[in-house]
Amino acid sequence: MRRLPVLVAAFAVAASLAQATQLVGEARVEIVGNSATLHWKTDVPTGTRLKISPNALVGEPTDSMPTTEHAITVAGLRPNVTYAATFGTARLWLGSKNFSLHDSNASQGLPSATTTSSSVAKPPPPARMTWANVASLPDHFARHGRDFGAKNPEDYARMAWEFLQRAKEEGLPAKQDQDGILRVFDPKSGAFAAYNRDGTTKTFFKPGSRDYFMRQPGRSIDLKTWR
């Protein structure tokens, strides 16, 4: 009975450590042939684990040293099958991402169109062209760059520009107010951005509350037809 407080304390510490681990940015799938490599980052060094469904295959790298840069490759995947990759630490799942192979590119080792957007693949314009108020960019990066794992203000501005391109292709939830301000939200990643009528970025971050987008002004629009 004397060991009970120690065990309770140990579980409390383990739980707090698990809750402290956060995903940095978004996971990325790289497809070569019939293999897929999932990349993701964590804010603190952790173990690495990946589960692929429908195979229900759980993989861990042979090098089990904790790291913040995670990558696991799964081979022998089949075309025309939608796979769900669940990734995380050795003890905690952090997120999931769906992907598939294409018959036309699986044998050639080209990236799947389901994981790489054709418009995002284009070289992005420099921040001075995509960020509305360039003078405010360093401040936005300092406050929100960590949300996406951005390396510097230019990298952060690029991510905001790419977010809009992907949002238009996928038709992410969006609103436009009477001043023409466009607000976009990705329910899966929690990313939110606001853009001027000309498409330049006003801000890009991950709000703390899940209903933040719902409370924003404007009417819902279809981004796939928005210009």
* pLDDT value of position 101: 77
Predicted confidence band at 64 (pLDDT cuts at 50, 70, 90)? low
Predicted confidence band at 87 (pLDDT cuts at 50, 70, 90)? confident
> What are the tens digits of pLDDT across the range 148-165?
888 899 999 999 998 998
Do residue 30 and residue 99 come from a single domain? yes
The domain that contains 170 carries what CATH number?
3.10.450
Angle ∠(72,74,75) on CA atoms, nearest 5: 145
Predicted confidence band at 113 (pLDDT cuts at 50, 70, 90)? very low
Range of the domain at 99: 4-106
Overall number of domains in the chain? 2
Per the domain annotation, does 117 fall within a domain?
A: no
Distance CA(115)–CA(214), nearest Å, equals 27
- Is 210 or 171 the better-scoring residue by pLDDT? 171
Per the domain annotation, does 116 fall within a domain?
A: no
> CA–CA distance from 66 to each of 10, 20, 90, 94 (Å)?
20, 15, 9, 15
Do residue 71 and residue 23 come from a single domain? yes
Q: Considering the chain, what is the average pLDDT of its residues?
A: 78
* pLDDT value of position 227: 66
Per the domain annotation, does 121 fall within a domain?
A: no
> What are the tens digits of pLDDT across the range 40-50?
888 888 888 88
* pLDDT value of position 102: 63
Predicted confidence band at 52 (pLDDT cuts at 50, 70, 90)? confident
Do residue 26 and residue 67 come from a single domain? yes
Do residue 134 and residue 96 come from a single domain? no
- Is 81 or 204 the better-scoring residue by pLDDT? 204
* pLDDT value of position 215: 93
Do residue 203 and residue 139 come from a single domain? yes
The domain that contains 101 carries what CATH number?
2.60.40.10
Do residue 150 and residue 190 come from a single domain? yes
Per the domain annotation, does 122 fall within a domain?
A: no
Per the domain annotation, does 113 fall within a domain?
A: no
Per the domain annotation, does 114 fall within a domain?
A: no
- Is 205 or 113 the better-scoring residue by pLDDT? 205
Per the domain annotation, does 47 fall within a domain?
A: yes
Does a cis peptide bond (omega within 30 degrees of 0) precede residue 54?
yes
